[in-house]
Structure 1
Amino acid sequence: LNFSNMESRASEIAIFRAIGATRISVFFQIMGENFFLVLIGAILGVLLVLPMSYGVQSLVLGGSLNEKMSLIASLDMSVIWCQVLPLAILFSLLSGGLPAYLITRKNIAEVLKGGNE
């Protein structure tokens, strides 16, 4: 999805490059946007996991578990900091890095005139 998004933004990126932006600055701008989206998604996922698990527990089990038991006992912050956040960064690099690199390597003139698809 990110690759097709970058392809649709190719003319925008070519215009940035034509007015003087370097490949590196365009690459880091794209990576910053992608990292921000991945980070927001990871934060929303962490914030929604407990309410959703309690909702599923009440729907599926109908409160048959006693009050001291639940599907998810608590949210361990060390797991979030040591596993979820690094995975989010890795996915951001993989899903955004390669398309951003490939799109910044394209010839500006070819992109602006429509390319040779």
Structure 2
Amino acid sequence: MYLQVFAQLLFPAYEEFLSKKYSKSSFFHKKYIVPLFSKTRVFQFTLSKIVLRSAFVVLTTIIATMVPFFNAVVGLLGAIAFWPLNLLNVVTLLISLLAAAASIINIIEILKHVVFLKTQL
């Protein structure tokens, strides 16, 4: 499941590579159009997208059933790939906490000098 989601970024790259390699093949270039509920909304595809993506899904499903820990391995790879995002969240949390603390200290300092309806700085 995870591999199929992460592979969505790879599909356009290898489809473009293969369409350039086989530039005269209708398998990669002939577009089929299926109208969806109206003539203005259409689903557009090539045979290569349907066949190659379906083959990828079938292949990963077969591998996942043959290797019982396949999803765990792919999950580990995903965690390794996305750890910088988690680190970024921690850093921004720390900056937000420091900014909140500085604002509270500033409010306390200003309130020390407040006279009713008048401030003295």
TM-score (structure 1 length as normaliser): 0.30
Structure (1/2) with the larger strand percentage? 2
* Larger RCO (alpha carbons 8 Å, 6+ apart): 1
TM-score (structure 2 length as normaliser): 0.29
